[in-house]
Amino acid sequence: MARLLLVRHGLTDHNVDRRVAGYTDIDLNEEGLRQVEKLNKRLADETIDAVYSSDLQRAVHTAKGSVSGREVTIETCYELREMNFGEAEEMTFAEMNEKYPDLARSVMNVDSGLSFPGGESFADFVDRVRVFLKTLEKFNEDHTILVVSHGATLRVIICELLGIDPNHWYQLGIDNASLSIVNTYEHRTILNSLNETSYLNE
């Protein structure tokens, strides 16, 4: 396919408070905006041929800030959204454990049959991510594509690209405003960088 620059959105208040925000359309906080400015500098020497972003504003604003100063169109994709946590949206784990103890237990045990009431099952979430990946098949290895999304979504994308069972998604660290780089070729895929964040300390 292409060289993929995978970016997680910048920090939000829900990230600070450790509240799940799947489809909740919360925006970046001040620190998140500063992170995006540093991300823009990190990507300055990259030639970016296309940009895909989750349609939630924390991702869209990260994408816009990342390519500020370039003439490139940002294509927003519903498929790149975070998992839909349904009735657990905006809860801390403690609140989830109090109201939905069985669900909290499934989350803690990383149950492959995980399903959020009023939201998505993990299996449906993975299927949605696979739909997005099909859109990248039109590119070749000479293209560089920026993909701005969410923690769980990017973890599943990386697992899918590397041929790893997506049930292992939780073993990958993907921090806010981090950059991971994956080169995809016809017969192989190479993970060049995972969860790079050094530029955020500059």
Q: Distance of alpha carbon 43 from its chain centroid, rounded?
A: 17
Confidence category of residue 14, pLDDT binned at 50, 70, 90: very high
- Report the pLDDT value the prediction gives residue 134, as an integer from 0 to 100: 96
4 pLDDT above the threshold of 90: yes
**Residue range 28-54: mean pLDDT, rounded:** 97
- Report the pLDDT value the prediction gives residue 186, as an integer from 0 to 100: 84
pTM: 0.96
Give the Cα separation of 67 and 48 in Å (integer): 8
For the chain, the domains span 3-201
- Report the pLDDT value the prediction gives residue 77, as an integer from 0 to 100: 97
Q: For 52-97, how does the pLDDT look when each residue is reduced to its tens digit (9 = 90+)?
A: 999 999 999 999 999 999 999 999 999 999 999 999 999 999 999 9
Q: For 111-156, how does the pLDDT look when each residue is reduced to its tens digit (9 = 90+)?
A: 878 999 999 999 999 999 999 999 999 999 899 999 999 999 999 9
Q: For 170-194, how does the pLDDT look when each residue is reduced to its tens digit (9 = 90+)?
A: 999 999 999 999 999 888 999 999 9
Return the percentage of the chain with pLDDT > 90, whole number.
Answer: 93
Q: At what angle do helices 151-162 and 122-135 cross, to 10 degrees?
A: 70
3, 7, 14, 32, 113 from 10: Cα distances, Å:
22, 9, 11, 4, 29
96, 176, 182 from 3: Cα distances, Å:
38, 21, 6
Q: Which residue has the higher pLDDT, 112 or 5?
A: 5
- Report the pLDDT value the prediction gives residue 112, as an integer from 0 to 100: 77
- Report the pLDDT value the prediction gives residue 182, as an integer from 0 to 100: 97
101 pLDDT above the threshold of 80: yes
- Report the pLDDT value the prediction gives residue 178, as an integer from 0 to 100: 98
Class of domain 3-201: alpha beta
Q: Which amino acid is at 5?
A: L
